[in-house]
Amino acid sequence: MSRNSFKDKAKILVPAGARSWLRAQQKGWKVWPPVGTLKFGSLGRVNPISRHFGFDRGNCIDRFYIEDFLSTNASDIKGRVLEIADNEYTKQFGGTRVTQSDVLHVQGSPRATIVADLTRADNVPSNSFDCMIITQTLQFIYDTRAAIATMHRLLKPGGVLLTTFPGISQISRVDMDQWGEYWRFTTMSAKQLFAERFGDSVTVQAYGNVFAAVAFLHGLAQEDIDLAKLKPHDADYEVLVTVRAVKQES
């Protein structure tokens, strides 16, 4: 049966009112799921499930990506290593390769071995560290270029910087009120910023997909979800941006 004869028979068999209704519905059938059929369930709310990044429910979703990044580059974590606020990742991924572990904090804390502002750190000698682990920190520093310059200065020649920062994320209200939260990054901005100091020895990688972004913004924990859904990467949803940068020997 030809397409035209089929349409002619439909006009006879289907009442005019029903045909009009079907034509209206077709507008929503051009995409899938059809427009208006989505069910948001527990996520269909204007307030997040957790405002604490999921830490009150379990393990934070972005930590899944941070730990994958550090695990992949664990061989760089050796010698004298500097970390921010505590040295949990140094111990977890450096192990016996680490000969000295230092912790930097801008205001001082029981775990800090160095009290300094990362945009200056004039009290810390140049060429001090074989590796620096700077996770989820640069978004709180307005003068990002000064911080990158300091990190470059503190690394020994051949030393490695491993750093992460948010792409898609809620605001950390505690940090915003305490010292400010200024930035979100993309792989493109990160590449250009770090290349200004580290040249060609910069590797940038993003993690995330739309599921990870929605879950993270709602403050779900790793325990709430199927972790396999975090693994596919969609370049349009950069939940976490990572940089591995090496200070050139020269």
For residue 53, which amino acid is it?
Answer: F
| pLDDT bracket for residue 15 (50, 70, 90) | confident
* 76-117 residue pLDDT tens: 999 999 999 999 999 999 999 999 999 999 998 999 999 999
Q: How confident is the model at residue 234 (pLDDT cuts 50, 70, 90)?
A: very high
Per-residue CA distances from 151 to 114, 122, 212, 244 (Å): 14, 12, 30, 12
User: Which residues sit opposite 132 in a β-bridge?
Assistant: 82, 161
pLDDT of residue 33: 86
pLDDT tier, 1 (very low <50, low <70, confident <90, very high otherwise)? low
Q: Is 167 exposed, middle or buried (0-12, 13-18, 19+ CB in 10 A)?
A: buried
* 206 vs 145: CA distance, rounded Å: 20
**Percentage of the chain modeled with pLDDT above 90:** 83
- Residues 17-34 have a mean pLDDT of 69
Highest average pLDDT, of 25-34, 38-47, 57-66, comes from 57-66
**pLDDT reported for residue 205:** 98
Is the pLDDT at 23 greater than 70? The verdict is no
Residues 234, 27: Cα–Cα separation, whole Å:
28
**Of 120, 136, 6, 148, nearest to 69 (Cα)?**
136
Spell out the domains of the chain, with CATH numbers in brackets.
1-38 (no CATH), 47-246 (3.40.50.150)
State pTM to two decimals: 0.88
Under a CB-based contact definition with an 8 Å cutoff, are residues 57 and 106 in contact?
Answer: no
How high does pLDDT run on average in the chain? 93
* Pairing outcome for strands 155-166 and 240-246: antiparallel
Q: pLDDT class for 123, splitting at 50, 70, 90?
A: very high
